[in-house]
Structure 1
């Protein structure tokens, strides 16, 4: 039985600036030095012009960028070239990973199990950011993870309490893991560990460019965590509400005290993270600059992988409704919205790169149509990031599992089937859909 996080929950700074490719970021003049991304009401702006997010998730960029046995800088350059050629201007990448006792957490992490810093991996992030900037692209830097695959909040909690819970443990079925991890927000020692990494990274100077991260226009936003939830059960969500909101407020304030140039985002899925509580979603985004929403039709039971033809129509209707709900929340808050994770399986839920993607194409077009309509009508939806980029990587084993020591990192995290959701460099129809969407962003 497959266990995964979603199915269980139903140069120098001047040199870089001088070669910035203005055409990769909507609204900037050709050849101009990059400006910081800002917001005005429901719009994202760069250089005073609309910034339309055309992005992908590429959590593993720092790992490829490391000058270490697990790194692969030539591949990173090839992948970034491919993405820039498609017209993408934004990547969402992990800027934290915590080693510890969780069995499904990737190793190495950016902090070791004893809390010490893994310098080569952080320098891999420096290298990745330098190359992202060199291509005129931007990045969302994610500062932790609610889920186990990068260690995350559960690992920080374990460093304080000495105990932990593994996602998918049969002795602790859903929502036990989410309820356990959400205890992090009220644990001041664990939050201090999180704030220590946040402070170190936001205050960091890039060892490749010599540019402080706080002064790097290639950073679109600092993101508090990947999919932080207040809990899994209704009771836990209610009990953790105040500590959850306090963590968001304190962390956002800390970032702004260290860096006045960049946006702050939360990384929340939306109402799926709050068991349908739209008020809590709105409250959670009061102290950040823009809203996020993630949409997973298969994992949330809206479609069935073995019957996509029969379940897609109803699934599509739920997707459209989810988009509408979160656009309405964004309008109420007068803030932008980015659909920063959306994923869909290949036909028949195959993991084989040769399998067709007819229904994935329909899904992507549903998201892209909503984004493009918002662009055309000055709506709050400012763009999207598909999940995720696999590029030239291929599964190393016939069962599509990731094993310790594998180095062909994909957008599909190591605990999930390799090839489940990511786009490969050979997915011609999907790449054309992304390319066409990117072209409209520049129109």
Structure 2
């Protein structure tokens, strides 16, 4: 979730442009087989996550910043400790930082169409993993970004294809070769590390990125086919970890009255959940940014209900891995938490976790929940309720 992304989405929500029809989903073929994870790795069984034969509860938050803002190992540890104290088991973070000028905790630097991976950046991410492990936290790691923050897809498109058309990221062969090379190095480094719960193909993939420029040919099938290819590639080099898309969970139901159900961003949630090499589904919820701000509590509750129905229909776990409102947070989140528990949804991660560290406060885009925030006790009680659900 980023401010520019929310502004772009809000504009599209107002226009309510319908999308092309989706391919039919065969619910029988989409049924997930049990992920027979090695010892100490998180797996799936039907609509549940598992760990060493027992249910694993996904609950926690997003801390995209933890490996990107120059934190010391001690401050990384303190940030994870704040999440764990609230009952968190899982944290979602970024495993990318694309740059053309080498500065900060970069992971991949570009000169022309050639990329160089930063060993120091990888070692910094080793510190992230170690701090998570020390606090009993599992990580969901996104491998690139739809948005311009920390580089993302558009860097590949500009450097390799010399274009601003965002959707070339999904179809250009040279770009896919470069992305796979990064995946091979980054993912390959952690194949045997159980602290990693899952890899995500991208944060919030869409046909359009931060600039809004596209080739005009991107459809839901474009991103679904890309997701099939990249998830299969990850599985070929890392059979130990779960894989997910990292999308916002937009449905593809042309004619629906609200924008997040119309497929206009190139996402077909049910078609993507049916991909055999994706182990679980993801969705986000930002009613205010998506033109649904009149009653965000009710809209978000129905959004959760509809994704829980897809979870049960396709027999794979589904998590709401980003969600946020900036007003009436306690009231709205209480309603959403109750619906998550009662619907059987597999888990949730708030956007975003926050900490007061010796280096200063962690980033706050208006959604951050620090340990002294009034919502923090709600996170604690919700984690207990979700774990007690059995």
Q: Shorter-chain TM-score: which interval?
A: 0.7 to 0.9
Matched, 1:410 2:362: yes
Question: What does residue range 250-265 of structure 1 map to in structure 2 within 5 Å?
Answer: 250-265=229-244
Question: What does residue range 198-277 of structure 1 map to in structure 2 within 5 Å?
Answer: 198-204=183-189, 213-231=190-208, 239-271=218-250, 276-277=261-262
1: CA distance, partners of 2:215 / 2:334: 36
The alpha carbon displacement at 1:243 in A equals 3.2
The alpha carbon displacement at 1:244 in A equals 1.9
8 Å contact kept, 1:63–1:121:
no
Question: What does residue range 76-225 of structure 1 map to in structure 2 within 5 Å?
Answer: 76-100=76-100, 108-114=105-111, 115-164=115-164, 180-204=165-189, 213-225=190-202
2: CA distance, partners of 1:9 / 1:272: 15
TM-superposition CA deviations, 1:73-93 (whole Å, max 9, x none): 222121112211111100001
Match of 2:371 in 1: 425
SS in structure 1 at match of 2:160: helix
SS in structure 1 at match of 2:97: coil
Question: What does residue range 13-24 of structure 1 map to in structure 2 within 5 Å?
Answer: none
8 Å contact kept, 2:251–2:268:
no
Matched, 1:386 2:350: yes
8 Å contact kept, 1:61–1:125:
no
Question: What does residue range 21-60 of structure 1 map to in structure 2 within 5 Å?
Answer: 35-60=40-65
2: CA distance, partners of 1:364 / 1:238: 38
The alpha carbon displacement at 1:237 in A equals 8.1
CA separation of 1:219 and 1:3: change in aligned 2, threshold 3 A: closer
The alpha carbon displacement at 1:393 in A equals 5.8
1: CA distance, partners of 2:163 / 2:303: 36
Q: What is the aligned residue count? A: 343
Match of 2:255 in 1: none
In structure 2, list runs of 5 or more residues that go unmatched.
11-37, 253-258
Match of 1:366 in 2: 335
CA separation of 1:71 and 1:121: change in aligned 2, threshold 3 A: farther
The alpha carbon displacement at 1:161 in A equals 2.1
2: CA distance, partners of 1:120 / 1:198: 17
In structure 1, list runs of 5 or more residues that go unmatched.
11-32, 65-69, 165-179, 205-212, 304-310, 348-358, 395-406, 412-417
2: CA distance, partners of 1:93 / 1:106: 20
Match of 1:355 in 2: none
The alpha carbon displacement at 1:188 in A equals 1.0
SS in structure 2 at match of 1:294: strand
The alpha carbon displacement at 1:281 in A equals 1.6
8 Å contact kept, 2:80–2:137:
no
The alpha carbon displacement at 1:106 in A equals 9.2
2: CA distance, partners of 1:106 / 1:140: 25
8 Å contact kept, 1:185–1:240:
no
TM-superposition CA deviations, 1:179-203 (whole Å, max 9, x none): x322211111111111111111111
2: CA distance, partners of 1:199 / 1:437: 37
CA separation of 1:275 and 1:384: change in aligned 2, threshold 3 A: closer
Match of 1:319 in 2: 300
TM score, norm. by length of structure 2: 0.81
1: CA distance, partners of 2:244 / 2:106: 22
TM-superposition CA deviations, 1:212-247 (whole Å, max 9, x none): x112221111100000113489x9786444332221
1: CA distance, partners of 2:355 / 2:280: 29
2: CA distance, partners of 1:214 / 1:3: 34
